[in-house]
Amino acid sequence: MGRVGGGGSLAAVVTVSDGVTHGTRKDDSGDLAEALLRGAGFEVGERVVVPDERPMIEDVLRRLADERGVGLLVTTGGTGFGPRDVTPEATRAVIEREAPGLAELMRQRGLEKTPLAALSRAVVGSRGSTLIVNLPGSPKGVRESLEAALSVVPHAVELLAGTAGVHPTGHDRAPQAAPGPSGGPAWVEVKAVRVHGSPPCRVGSSMRVVPGGEVHGTLGCAEFDEAAVRDAPRIIEAGEPQVRTYHHEHGDVDVFLEPHRPDATLVVVSATDVGRHLLRLGRDLGLAPILVETRAERVTAQDRASVPVADAMEGVRLDADARVVFTDHDAPGIAEQLAHVLRSPARFIGVMGSRRHVGPYVDELRSMGFGDEDLDRLRSPLGLDLGGRRPEEIALSIAAGLVADSNARGGGWMDR
């Protein structure tokens, strides 16, 4: 059985049976329900047996939900067409919201085995933060129904409790971009800031949504969560926090959605003294540094301890926020590496060296088919004209140029 663990949530099993109550029948169904719940990660704190009497069933369900803090409460028995089968009626009298989809999921699994499953009148619903699930009275029916429901029940219990981990909805299995040195893709923080009416959401309920990726937390119900997941890509694209209102039949909730982008990547090509100083300055500027060096003998142990190191440009993710700086115009394969970067959406591409040194690479790139618009993205000479000559001073002038570029300022670039 594929399952999502219950994470130690407290559960209870209520057996509704005249025979078990009077000692004329063993509680095989209750035993099986408990075993299945424990196998799914639930802690079964209580086992209760009651006769097929509606008032007694209602009292037990209310007590376990209201006084015991049970997250999941399953009943076995009393769901058929017999004159004393009153568990569904007792459950409807107790629950505050029905969950027909779960009941239909269990019936669908039973119908795969026998058409008699259509006679089940099982009900599923919630009371406060407790999910109540009716199961059939036979062990076979308990196994089929509970195994079907356990694919989603743990998440439903988490939603009712106001907390949730990764949604078992397939979001976490969506393709994601290869992580860069900054630690992962952009994400949106979603937080409930105001509640109107009585929707299933509390102020402060929150989620973390990676568009096309993982979803953590919950706003309290699937409708709100799905709305936040739908809005997340637009929030990332806008780049600014926004407030949205999500609607529910019991009331609305205002949510604050804040985009978070990983630190922009600073790719320093070649392990030079200038490059090492620039890597340190880049980190101080809030960039995520990475060193690319095809010559392994030039990379020191200190380099590897300080920053991520790649032996080829192809191993680095270059998005529209990436800054790429070549610090050794005599390194092998410069033209090929520049071609790779020019094919990316990288924001900034700079090459140290005079026009005389860099000119041959420009000619080679033209022969590869790059036009003036492409080559205009290359900045060389590189750095603001600060007059420094030492490696740390040259690195500072390049870092100052990156700041100027980030703020769309001229800054005073070197021109020779």
In the three-class reduction of DSSP (H, G, I as helix; E, B as strand; rest coil), residue 76 is classed as: strand
Angle at the Cα of 309 from the Cα atoms of 306 and 313, rounded to 5 degrees: 145
Distance CA 358, CA 366 (A): 13
Question: What torsion, rounded to 10 degrees, do the Cα atoms 34, 35, 41, 43 define?
Answer: 40
Q: What is the DSSP string of 288-338?
A: EEEEE-S-GGG--HHHHHHS-EESSGGGS---TT-EEEE--TTSTTHHHHH
For residues 327 and 406, the model is more confident at: 327
- Judged by average pLDDT, the poorest of 157-171, 219-233, 249-263 is 157-171
Q: With beta carbons less than 8 A apart as the criterion, state whether 225 and 215 touch.
A: yes
Distance CA 205, CA 355 (A): 57
Distance CA 276, CA 391 (A): 9
Angle at the Cα of 187 from the Cα atoms of 186 and 189, rounded to 5 degrees: 150
Indicate if the pLDDT at residue 124 is higher than 90.
Answer: yes
Q: Which has the closest alpha carbon to 314: 288, 332, 294, 300?
A: 294
> Which two tokens mark 148?
């079907």
Region 82-90: mean pLDDT is 94
Q: pLDDT at position 58, please?
A: 95
For residues 150 and 136, the model is more confident at: 136
Ordered alpha helix ranges (H), 71-130: 87-94, 100-111
Distance CA 347, CA 416 (A): 22
Tell me the pLDDT band of 157, cut-offs 50, 70 and 90. Answer: confident
Q: pLDDT at position 162, please?
A: 63
Rg of the chain taking only CA atoms, in angstroms: 31
Q: pLDDT at position 168, please?
A: 45
For residues 332 and 409, the model is more confident at: 332
Q: In what order do the strands lie in the sheet with 265-269?
A: 309-310, 288-292, 265-269, 323-326, 348-351, 378-379
Q: Which has the closest alpha carbon to 86: 116, 60, 121?
A: 121
Indicate if the pLDDT at residue 187 is higher than 70.
Answer: yes
For residues 381 and 171, the model is more confident at: 381
Tell me the pLDDT band of 131, cut-offs 50, 70 and 90. Answer: very high
Look up residue 413 and give its DSSP letter.
B
- Judged by average pLDDT, the poorest of 77-81, 258-262, 334-338 is 258-262
Distance CA 399, CA 282 (A): 7
Q: Please, which residues have CB within 8 angstroms of residue 383's CB and are 6 or more apart in sequence?
A: 352, 394, 397, 398, 400, 401, 413, 414
- For residue range 17-63, list pLDDT tens digits in order: 999 999 999 999 999 999 888 878 888 889 999 999 999 999 999 99
Angle at the Cα of 333 from the Cα atoms of 331 and 339, rounded to 5 degrees: 125
Q: What is the DSSP string of 352-402?
A: -S-HHHHHHHHHHHHHTT--HHHHTTEE-S-SB-----SHHHHHHHHHHHH
Q: Please, which residues have CB within 8 angstroms of residue 399's CB and are 6 or more apart in sequence?
A: 278, 281, 282, 285
- The pTM score is 0.46
Q: pLDDT at position 155, please?
A: 78
Mean pLDDT of the chain: 85
Ordered alpha helix ranges (H), 95-171: 100-111, 139-149, 153-161
Q: pLDDT at position 320, please?
A: 85
Q: With beta carbons less than 8 A apart as the criterion, state whether 148 and 158 touch.
A: no
